[in-house]
Amino acid sequence: MATIIEQQPTIAPALEGTVKEERLQVPRKPMSPGKIVAFIVLSGMSFLFIVPFVWMLSTSLKGFNDLAGSNWIPNPVTWDNYLNAFGYGMWGRWAMNSITITAFSVFGTVLSTSIIAYSFARLRWPGRDQVFALVLATMMLPGVVTMIPQYILFSKLPAFGFMGSQTWVNTFLPLIVPAFTGNAFYIFLLRQFMRGIPMELSEAARIDGASELRIWWSIVMPLTKPALAAVAIFTFQFVWEDFQGPLLYLPSEKNYTLQIALRFFEASAGGAPAWNYMMAASLVVMLPVLIIFIIFQRYFIEGVTLTGMGGR
């Protein structure tokens, strides 16, 4: 089957379009005055967008005497803030919790959305279009509507002592299991993508006796890699940064995720927050997402355009 795929190198261009176009720019002409003004305005605005990051870094290295000042270069540079911020509390454990939940969620979401999207995109079954309409409808459903009843559900489901809890509350299950049932946005994205793959590929494999599971795994999955990458990256971001879920379902300190831990860390300061410590801790917590973004920004940017996920 590998040969079939190699013969079709141009099947999945949908994600390429936006970036490639700009690389084809004609040789540079001198900029018109209008363009120079636009360039200056854009530079200024993007500077404003970067400033908070720089200020965060600067604050995280300031001593307490320096904190109220508007100087950008900390005087002296206090690396100890990082040691002090993480010297208190179970940060190692909290980081492991975040990593565990995120890893399972990403795995579950990619696997389930892909097979569900395959069913909608490439198989015919009675009621398919009605069910797909339902998928689209849930995209508009505000998540908070189900917040309370889901909590009730999870507080009744038995966990049989898993993670030391009798119910699903205070275990990772409420945050991980739903990921294995797919996500409407990503099902939609992958379905659109899979419909672009020629049906002849599947039919040829069927004639060769391949099962649908095999066709999904060996033909369609490899050809949807760019879209799967977008799904994985967005899931990673949203799960890593989720606050509401862990706040509801992980009340005991040992099960906190990094997001909840930050809030706990701030509250435990008592009075006004020690902003240098707070910024040091915040920076480290957001660092994984920032690094992923810098490496895979292409997938982020194309994924946004494809899903239309403009909001946060």
Q: Which is nearer to other proteins, 93 or 214 (CB)?
A: 214
Peptide bond into 198 cis (omega under 30): no
Q: How far is the CB of 161 from other proteins (least distance, A)?
A: 20
C-alpha 287/C-alpha 82 separation (Å) is 14
Q: Which is nearer to other proteins, 103 or 295 (CB)?
A: 295
Exposed, middle or buried by CB within 10 Å (0-12, 13-18, 19+), for 7?
exposed
Q: How far is the CB of 133 from other proteins (least distance, A)?
A: 12
Q: How far is the CB of 80 from other proteins (least distance, A)?
A: 19
Q: Which is nearer to other proteins, 12 or 154 (CB)?
A: 154
C-alpha 93/C-alpha 249 separation (Å) is 17
Enter the tokens of residue 107. 């795995």
Residue pair 104/176 in contact (Cβ under 8 Å)? The answer is yes
Q: How far is the CB of 69 from other proteins (least distance, A)?
A: 8
Rounded to a whole number of angstroms, the distance between the first and last alpha carbons of the chain is 40
DSSP state of 217: I
Q: How far is the CB of 195 from other proteins (least distance, A)?
A: 15
Count of alpha carbons within 13 angstroms of residue 18, beta-carbon side: 11
Q: Which is nearer to other proteins, 163 or 301 (CB)?
A: 301
